[in-house]
């Protein structure tokens, strides 16, 4: 990267920081696709296994501790939770998959809700599929990736809790994840490693979202 390119990138990172420091609010929790807000604004959605850290990541992006309700109990998110940033874009926290302390009927209901949203939302610019960096891709992650590929919904892998492993292990997980998605048609080739606790990768993810949604200040 040349000096001018580095300066441009730094300016873009700063613009993304400013965007995510703007007012953000909880809009609604939808329990059916009929309740979704209008599709006028661009949206990004966050999906992942239960307790992977979706709510914590959203809080870290906007620099707040309690915007999205994080829980130590897996499977608590059972709605499509919409957050409005700067009146410019929606961020959507999807129900987790893979495990939930609920009946099989209830689990199927709120997981199908997430799938229906991903398949039918015309203003969805990208889904961010969160994967615990300590474990990497698992068999349970194949189903949502298959669904996203089939629906032709662009998605990007975001590794969470990356501060919990050493840099060398982090690099290995990134490489293995990239290899695991290489032949998937809807997968973005860049894998981001993040930490909601230390801020690792958060500026880069903010920039990805800003550019993906085409938002300018």
**CATH code, domain carrying 202:** 3.40.50.300
Going by pLDDT thresholds of 50, 70 and 90, the confidence category of residue 109 is very low
At residue 77, the pLDDT reads: 52
Mean pLDDT computed over 148-159: 94
Per the CB < 8 A criterion, the answer to whether 107 and 100 are in contact is: yes
At residue 74, the pLDDT reads: 43
From 1-5, 106-110, 128-132, 168-172, the region with the lowest mean pLDDT: 106-110
Whether residue 182 has pLDDT greater than 70: yes
Whether residue 71 has pLDDT greater than 70: no
Q: Percentage of residues in the chain with pLDDT exceeding 90?
A: 70
At residue 18, the pLDDT reads: 97
Whether residue 81 has pLDDT greater than 70: yes
Per the CB < 8 A criterion, the answer to whether 81 and 43 are in contact is: no
This prediction has a pTM of 0.90
Mean pLDDT computed over 1-27: 94
Going by pLDDT thresholds of 50, 70 and 90, the confidence category of residue 181 is very high
**Antiparallel, parallel or unpaired: β 43-48 and 89-93:** parallel
Of the CA atoms within 13 Å of residue 185, those in its CB half-sphere come to 8
Q: Between these two residues, 131 and 143, which has the higher pLDDT value?
A: 131
Range of the structural domain that residue 130 is part of: 3-213
At residue 127, the pLDDT reads: 96
Going by pLDDT thresholds of 50, 70 and 90, the confidence category of residue 72 is very low
Tell me the two tokens of residue 85.
């940033």
Q: How many domains does the chain have?
A: 1
Q: How far apart are the first and last CA of the chain?
A: 25
**Which residue blocks in the chain are alpha helix, DSSP H?**
3-20, 54-62, 104-120, 142-151, 167-181, 202-213
At residue 75, the pLDDT reads: 44
89 vs 217: CA distance, rounded Å: 12
30 vs 58: CA distance, rounded Å: 18
Q: In what order do the strands lie in the sheet with 155-160?
A: 24-30, 80-85, 89-93, 43-48, 124-132, 155-160, 192-193
Mean pLDDT computed over 164-187: 97
């Amino acid at each position: 990267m040349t000096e001018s390119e580095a300066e441009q990138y730094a300016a873009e990172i700063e613009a993304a920081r400013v965007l995510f420091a703007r007012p953000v609010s909880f809009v609604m929790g939808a329990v059916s696709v009929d309740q979704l807000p209008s599709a006028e604004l661009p949206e990004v959605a966050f999906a992942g296994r239960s307790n992977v850290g979706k709510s914590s990541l959203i809080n870290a992006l906007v620099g707040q501790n309690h915007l999205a309700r994080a829980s130590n109990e897996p499977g608590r998110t059972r709605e499509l939770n919409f957050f409005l940033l700067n009146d410019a874009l929606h961020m959507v926290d999807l129900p987790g998959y893979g495990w939930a302390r609920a009946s099989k009927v209830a689990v199927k209901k709120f997981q199908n809700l997430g799938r229906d949203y991903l398949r039918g939302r015309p203003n969805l610019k990208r889904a961010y599929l969160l994967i615990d960096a300590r474990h990497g891709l698992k068999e349970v992650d194949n189903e949502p990736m298959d669904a996203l590929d089939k629906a032709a919904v662009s998605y990007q892998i975001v590794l969470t809790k990356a501060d919990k492993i050493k840099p060398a292990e982090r690099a290995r997980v990134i490489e293995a994840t990239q290899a695991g998605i290489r032949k998937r048609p809807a997968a973005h080739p860049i894998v981001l490693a993040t930490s909601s606790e230390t801020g690792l990768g958060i500026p880069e993810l903010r920039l990805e979202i800003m550019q993906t949604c085409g938002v300018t200040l």
